[in-house]
């Protein structure tokens, strides 16, 4: 399984490697990928169509993204997952059992996927703004007051909301928040998140909005 390396976000030292792609661009690599039985079984349970294609593409892209950091071909990488809420191993936070020093994250939305790999715990999220509509009720539930004011003041509230949303989703994936506590996070106050660094990948597609977050690993700290 090979892919041209041009186009991904080139990381600065210590920054994660991030890739954002359209699902259609990754699908040709699915048949070559050595997906785990749980990945193929979970994909088979999804309705045939966009949801299944996005799931498969994300699980392939995360291997393509992690390969340069592991120094191994993407088709040899074993991806596992574990849900800290229910304890099952067919979904939840992804990790590489054979490369515990490399952290990975993946995300998919309709027609697009994103992946990140780093030596620090990492989370990534992607959304497609093409058909998105600003919903003030949802924004009120997940945004802090200062964030909500900034979104309402923005000439493009849809994109302003999604920029905050993808960052908050990435924070959930890195274990620094939960979906029920998103309103407690105020991303307009950078000092409220010590040890956290946001990396916004270059937007290669006008309608895709993505964000990646890493957090510093302290000595002795363990991560899935």
What confidence tens digit (pLDDT) does each residue in 124-145 have? 999 999 888 899 999 999 999 9
What confidence tens digit (pLDDT) does each residue in 29-88 have? 998 899 999 999 999 999 999 999 999 999 999 999 999 999 999 999 999 999 988 988
Q: What backbone phi and psi angles, to 5 degrees, belong to 63?
A: -70, -45
Neighbours of 35 (CB within 10 A): 19
- Dihedral class, residue 144 (left if φ above 0, else alpha if ψ from -120 to 50, else beta): beta
Confidence of residue 202 (pLDDT cuts 50, 70, 90): low
What confidence tens digit (pLDDT) does each residue in 146-176 have? 999 999 999 999 999 999 999 999 999 998 8
Beta-carbon contacts of 7 under 8 Å, excluding residues fewer than 6 positions away, are 19, 204
Contact 107, 125 (CB under 8 A): yes
pLDDT of residue 116: 97
Q: Return d(Cα 188, Cα 66) in angstroms, integer.
A: 31
Contact 83, 36 (CB under 8 A): no
Neighbours of 170 (CB within 10 A): 28
Structural domains in the chain, sorted by start: 17-215 (3.90.470.20)
Neighbours of 111 (CB within 10 A): 17
Contact 56, 74 (CB under 8 A): no
What confidence tens digit (pLDDT) does each residue in 6-30 have? 344 555 556 799 999 999 999 999 9
Q: Return d(Cα 48, Cα 52) in angstroms, integer.
A: 6
pLDDT of residue 219: 40
Contact 103, 223 (CB under 8 A): yes
pLDDT of residue 148: 97
Neighbours of 188 (CB within 10 A): 14
pLDDT of residue 20: 94
CA distances from 77 to 60, 71, 132, 191, 222 (A): 10, 10, 35, 37, 21
Higher pLDDT, 101 or 11: 101
Contact 74, 66 (CB under 8 A): yes
Confidence of residue 94 (pLDDT cuts 50, 70, 90): very high
Q: Return d(Cα 67, Cα 135) in angstroms, integer.
A: 39
């Amino acid at each position: 399984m090979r892919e041209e390396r041009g186009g991904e976000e080139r990381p600065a030292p210590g920054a994660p490697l991030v890739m954002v792609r359209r699902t259609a661009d990754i699908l040709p690599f699915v048949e070559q990928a050595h997906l785990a039985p749980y990945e193929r079984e979970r994909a088979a349970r999804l309705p045939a169509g966009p949801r299944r294609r996005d799931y498969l593409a994300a699980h392939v892209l995360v291997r393509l993204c992690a390969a340069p950091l592991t120094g191994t071909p993407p088709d040899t990488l074993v991806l596992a997952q574990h849900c800290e809420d229910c304890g099952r191993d067919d979904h939840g936070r992804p990790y590489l059992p054979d490369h515990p020093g490399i952290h990975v994250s993946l995300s998919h939305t309709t027609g697009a996927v994103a992946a990140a790999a780093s030596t620090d715990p990492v989370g990534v999220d992607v959304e497609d703004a093409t058909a998105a509509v600003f919903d003030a009720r949802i924004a009120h539930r997940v945004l802090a007051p200062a964030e909500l004011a900034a979104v309402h003041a923005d000439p493009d509230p849809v994109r302003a909301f999604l920029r905050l949303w993808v960052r908050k989703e990435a924070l959930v994936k890195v274990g620094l928040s939960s979906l029920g506590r998103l309103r407690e996070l105020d991303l307009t106050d950078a000092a409220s998140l010590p040890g956290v660094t946001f990396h916004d990948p270059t937007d290669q597609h006008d309608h895709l909005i993505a964000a990646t977050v890493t957090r510093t690993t302290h000595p002795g700290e363990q991560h899935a």
